[in-house]
A and B are shown apart, each in its own frame.
Chain A
Amino acid sequence: MSNIACFVEKYNFTDPREEGALQRFKVAAEKQGSEFHFLFREDISEIPKYDAVFIRATTDPLNAAYVVSKTAWELGLKVIDDPESITICGNKIHQYALFEKYNVPRIPTMFLDKEELHHKKISEIFDTLGKPVVIKAPYTSFSRYVEKAACETSFRDVAKRFFRKSDALAIQKFTPTAYDWRVGVLNNDVLYVCKYMIPKGKWKHGAKLRGKPTVIWGRTVSLKKREMPRMLSEVALKACSVVGKGLYGVDIKEVNGDFVVVEVNDNPSIYAGYEDSSDHDIYKRIITYLSE
């Protein structure tokens, strides 16, 4: 029996599928005899009253979710997402440097520092990775701040915009696929598996229609985790092992039979009727992990 705080912001309740998932977490907790309360940013001072904190609001080392995570951590509470996972997943440069260090199979990636934005370096990038390339700001989430560039002019254009906030960027080989695998991992164990389909004619899961601000999302196809390819689960677990022991959503592409990691996300989306539709026990397992 445990008293769990679920840190949320108002926007977590705007999508009925996400609200549905939050309710399922609450039901799963209560079934186990635990209490499950929503904690909003006004209630940060109440963290010491709880045994565990589960963060569902968007995380970043610079926002309130980090303050919640680190406060809980300092007080010795169990917390998802823990501060270190937020730090590593919130900065893709940090994450890719770790993948490089520990040999995690990944999409070919190069780093670009602000002072290196010149013709020679850009040519070197195109020579190594081909054209187009994908430029990624380190703080990307929900497919935002990830753009494609096929020539030096558009490369400079995108890079200059992303350099406003970060002094380093990640550049990746453009690897179009019909879908990205999304593997949910908790404490070094696979929790669920999905295919995030890429919308037709687009190259990322969440894409903007030309000239419009609205984002269209590809379908989510859920699979039973026992049916997933063994190599897929091995690659997903290897990628998570360099990040931590929390809850992650690993994006993986299948290229010519090989599985390569796109990125590991903390705070993965869990929507009722989507990620949970093949393996229904995900709520129970996360709650159990928090109450242990």
Chain B
Amino acid sequence: MTVLVVSNIDLPIKLRVMKPVTFLDSTINEPTLNLNNEYRYLKTGYYVSMHAEILGNRVIPSCENIIDSSRTPVFLLRAAKAGVPTLPVVVTDSVKKIIKELGFPVLLFAINPFIYGGYKVAHNKSALYRAMKSLGMNYKFAVCAQPLKGELAAVKSYFGKAVNQDPNTEKIVQKVYEIFRIPLCKLYIQKTVGKAYLCALQPVTKEELSEQDLKIISKEVSLISEQGEPFGV
């Protein structure tokens, strides 16, 4: 089976890799692996998956999974349904509600059309006001709050594999890939003694990809290309 690899990243492999802009002008009917460092909605990484879906191609990742994985409350709901450990979430623009339901310290992610990366941690009321003002864009949008119980780690995931992580984290990373099939991403995971909780998924920047990372990615891409495994063939 041939898998069409569409990528905005230069990989050290001998496979046929197509640039997103070339693919968007084409009508190729093949299972499509859309490899991009970011799958932001309305950006090229999203349009590649959309174009593949319109052509009727099986594609990784799907538009639905791209959107859902970037909306933290939806992402955590779907992950929790599939058995991934998560913490309670509050969606609100009210500081009082967060203090009442979660207390401190608290971890906050934005849910609005303008902010797609980063997070804030608040240890007290005034820090929470500042964080809500910034992530909620002057309190205009709601934010997604979760209790912060341990140490927060940003873990890079390449096809569900993470490098040098504890077994709990590795399990989460793999499970998230099975559910959402986002080839490249960064997962925020809280770690406490003997436990790990999933917090959010965000894009990786090209600068964050080391040579070592590119080698791992290339190996995975070659495997998929040969075996077509995530396409179920």
* Chain A residues in the interface with B (C-beta under 8 A): 41-42, 44-45, 60-64, 66-67, 70-71, 74, 83-84, 87, 91, 93-94, 97-98, 101, 113-116, 138-139, 165-168
Asked whether any CB of chain A lies closer than 8 Å to the CB of B11, the reply is no
Asked whether any CB of chain A lies closer than 8 Å to the CB of B94, the reply is yes
- Residues on B with beta carbons closer than 8 Å to the beta carbon of A87: 63-64, 67
User: Are A139 and B42 in contact (CB-based, < 8 A)?
Assistant: yes
How many angstroms from the CA of A100 to the CA of B64 in the assembled complex?
21
A267, chain B: closest CB distance, angstroms: 16
Asked whether any CB of chain A lies closer than 8 Å to the CB of B194, the reply is no
- Residues on B with beta carbons closer than 8 Å to the beta carbon of A71: 73-74, 77
Task: List the 10 closest pairs (A to B, CB-CB), nearest first.
Answer: A62-B113, A166-B42, A44-B91, A97-B54, A70-B74, A167-B44, A61-B67, A41-B142, A42-B92, A67-B73
User: Are B68 and A70 in contact (CB-based, < 8 A)?
Assistant: yes
B3, chain A: closest CB distance, angstroms: 22
Asked whether any CB of chain A lies closer than 8 Å to the CB of B59, the reply is no
User: Are A97 and B21 in contact (CB-based, < 8 A)?
Assistant: no
16 other A-B residue contacts (CB within 8 Å) besides A44-B73, A97-B54, A139-B42: A42-B92, A44-B92, A60-B113, A63-B141, A66-B67, A67-B71, A67-B74, A70-B74, A71-B77, A84-B64, A91-B42, A94-B50, A94-B63, A113-B24, A114-B44, A166-B43
What is the chain B residue whose CB lies nearest that of A111? B24
* Chain B residues in the interface with A (C-beta under 8 A): 21, 24, 41-44, 47, 50-51, 54, 63-64, 67-68, 70-71, 73-74, 77-78, 81, 90-94, 97, 111-113, 141-142
User: Are A74 and B78 in contact (CB-based, < 8 A)?
Assistant: yes
How many angstroms from the CA of A139 to the CA of B113 in the assembled complex?
11
- Residues on A with beta carbons closer than 8 Å to the beta carbon of B73: 44, 67, 71
B97, chain A: closest CB distance, angstroms: 6
Q: Chain A interface secondary structure, helix, strand, loop or mixed?
A: helix
How many angstroms from the CA of A138 to the CA of B94 in the assembled complex?
31
User: Are B141 and A64 in contact (CB-based, < 8 A)?
Assistant: yes
What is the chain B residue whose CB lies nearest that of A64? B142
Q: List 7 A-B contacts (CB under 8 A).
A: A44-B142, A61-B71, A66-B74, A87-B64, A94-B54, A98-B54, A168-B24
How many angstroms from the CA of A77 to the CA of B42 in the assembled complex?
28
- Residues on B with beta carbons closer than 8 Å to the beta carbon of A167: 42-44, 47
B180, chain A: closest CB distance, angstroms: 13
- Residues on A with beta carbons closer than 8 Å to the beta carbon of B74: 66-67, 70-71, 74
